[in-house]
């Protein structure tokens, strides 16, 4: 069994940087654009909503993971607007978010995943989103998880962060992540956006297996109001 060791919680994980900024998508001026970036390509796994009305960011990220066989370098997330039920324009907007993030970080667009959460049925204000991506890319920091966690919130009352350091086989490693979600909670990827990073050396296939097993007993087994997500 992994041995948990004591260390100050600093919300840092080797090889990852985070940012959260306000771009004006939310009328109250709260943070609404977040980026996670890795120093290099990393094994990546994801589970998505099974809603047949999956939003554009879900479709774009699914395709990217299939194309790259479970590898990525960045995730761009916005809150305040779900970019769901927005037709072909929504698909183009999601791909623009990917393109602008890739350009800002100097990486290939196929290495970028995208997620959105918020109001359904409205186009993203892309001028604000693109400006926010530029600011977020310049704000990336190893200790920026709290800002990222705030930037993905919608109706949540506060940020939700988990952080664990363990020792396995004499090697210390970190697992940490954050999530959002307070309503539209139903099985088949309960309506949340959740992001977990680790500096453990694990391949994409093993990561997918572990994530699927964890999801079956958690996100796919809880319900609050019976509404299944379009975006998560």
Is 216 in contact with 32 (CB distance < 8 Å)? no
Task: Kindly list the strands in the beta sheet with 160-168, ordered across the sheet, starting from the edge strand earlier in the chain.
Answer: 3-4, 160-168, 171-180, 193-198
Which residue among the candidates 101, 191, 198, 230 is catalytic per the annotation? 191
Tell me whether residue 191 is one of the annotated catalytic residues.
yes
What single DSSP character describes residue 152? T
Number of Cβ within a 10 Å radius of residue 59: 15
Number of Cβ within a 10 Å radius of residue 231: 25
> Mutual orientation of helices 56-67 and 87-105 as an angle, nearest 10°?
50
Catalytic residue IDs:
191
């Amino acid at each position: 069994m992994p041995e948990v060791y004591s260390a100050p919680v600093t919300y840092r994980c080797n090889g990852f940087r985070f940012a959260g900024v306000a771009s004006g998508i939310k009328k109250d001026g709260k943070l609404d654009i977040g980026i996670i970036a890795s120093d290099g390509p990393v094994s990546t796994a994801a589970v998505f909503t099974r809603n047949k009305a999956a939003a554009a960011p879900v479709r774009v990220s699914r395709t990217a993971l299939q194309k790259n066989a479970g590898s990525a370098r960045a995730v761009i997330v916005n809150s305040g607007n779900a970019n769901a039920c927005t037709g072909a324009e929504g698909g183009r907007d999601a791909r623009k978010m990917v393109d602008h993030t890739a350009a800002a970080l100097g990486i290939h667009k196929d290495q970028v995943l995208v997620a959105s959460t918020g109001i359904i049925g409205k186009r993203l204000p892309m001028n604000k989103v693109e400006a926010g991506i530029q600011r977020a890319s310049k704000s990336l920091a190893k200790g920026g998880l709290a800002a990222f966690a705030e930037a993905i919130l919608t109706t949540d009352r506060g940020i939700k962060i988990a952080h664990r350091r363990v020792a396995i086989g004499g090697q210390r490693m970190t697992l940490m992540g954050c999530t959002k979600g307070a309503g539209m909670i139903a099985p088949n990827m309960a309506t949340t956006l959740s992001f977990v990073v680790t500096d453990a050396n694990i391949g994409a296939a093993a990561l997918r297996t572990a994530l699927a097993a964890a999801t079956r007993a958690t996100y796919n087994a809880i319900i609050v109001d019976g509404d299944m997500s379009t975006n998560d």
